Amino acid sequence: MLKPGDTVSDFTLENNKGESVSLSDFKGKKVVVYFYPKDNTPGCTTEACSFRDEIDQFSDKNTVILGISKDSVKSHERFIENYDLPFQLLSDPEAEVIQQFGAWGEKKNYGKTYMGIIRSTFILDEQGKVLHTFEKVKTKDHALAVLEEIDKF
């Protein structure tokens, strides 16, 4: 998993509208990149809505939110519509960016072991360098924890 001080390689993924979005599009802004397992599931919805509810504070801090999962562009579009999410969700069906960040790994659920997205969040500075990582995310108040960390920089 990427750590503070690491520089993130530029990447390009499709957003919920099918448009290409690159990390480099946000030079000069802080970027919160969060990885989540699945659109429209309880934990992922709680997490996305926590960012939605604090979006003005992120904007005031010159910070952009990008959510990334393996879900399709169409699934992201429905997720955004269902919960009025005011930020972009990016589709990474091959998990290339997910793996680049180290957010792909072994998970256990109901006694079964499988590979999947590890719910994690990265705060990047204006040049794409990692400032902080969250490896154990509590979905309910996650956005507030991220805002607290941003205030330290």
Task: Please indicate, yes or no, if residue 13 is contained in any of the structural domains.
Answer: no
Residues 6+ apart with CB under 8 A from 20: 12, 13, 14
For residues 7-33, average pLDDT: 97
| The pLDDT of residue 128 is above 90 | yes
Tally of domains in the chain: 1
| The pLDDT of residue 80 is above 90 | yes
How much is the pLDDT for 110? Answer: 87
Helix or strand holding residue 45 (H, E) = helix 42-53
DSSP secondary structure code for residue 7 in this structure: B
For residues 49-74, average pLDDT: 98
The length of the chain in residues reads 153
Is residue 82 within 8 Å of 40, Cβ to Cβ? yes
**CA angle 95–100–106, rounded 5-degree value:** 65
For residues 145-152, average pLDDT: 96
| Whether 49 is catalytic | no
- How far is the C-alpha of 70 from the C-alpha of 98, rounded, in Å? 8
Task: Please indicate, yes or no, if residue 40 is contained in any of the structural domains.
Answer: yes
Task: Please indicate, yes or no, if residue 110 is contained in any of the structural domains.
Answer: yes
Task: Please indicate, yes or no, if residue 17 is contained in any of the structural domains.
Answer: no
What CATH number is given to the structural domain containing 57?
A: 3.40.30.10
Task: Please indicate, yes or no, if residue 34 is contained in any of the structural domains.
Answer: yes
Task: Please indicate, yes or no, if residue 98 is contained in any of the structural domains.
Answer: yes
How much is the pLDDT for 136? Answer: 82
Residue type for position 144: L
Q: How far is CA 11 from CA 71, 94, 101, 116, 127, in A?
A: 17, 13, 11, 20, 13
For residues 87-116, average pLDDT: 94
Q: Which domain does 144 fall in, by range?
A: 28-150
| The pLDDT of residue 138 is above 90 | no
pTM: 0.95
Of the chain, the percentage scoring pLDDT greater than 70 comes to 100
Read off the pLDDT band of 109 (50, 70, 90). confident
Helix or strand holding residue 151 (H, E) = none
Read off the pLDDT band of 108 (50, 70, 90). confident
List 8, 13, 31, 44, catalytic entry: 44
For residues 10-37, average pLDDT: 97
Task: Please indicate, yes or no, if residue 5 is contained in any of the structural domains.
Answer: no
Task: Please indicate, yes or no, if residue 1 is contained in any of the structural domains.
Answer: no
How much is the pLDDT for 56? Answer: 98
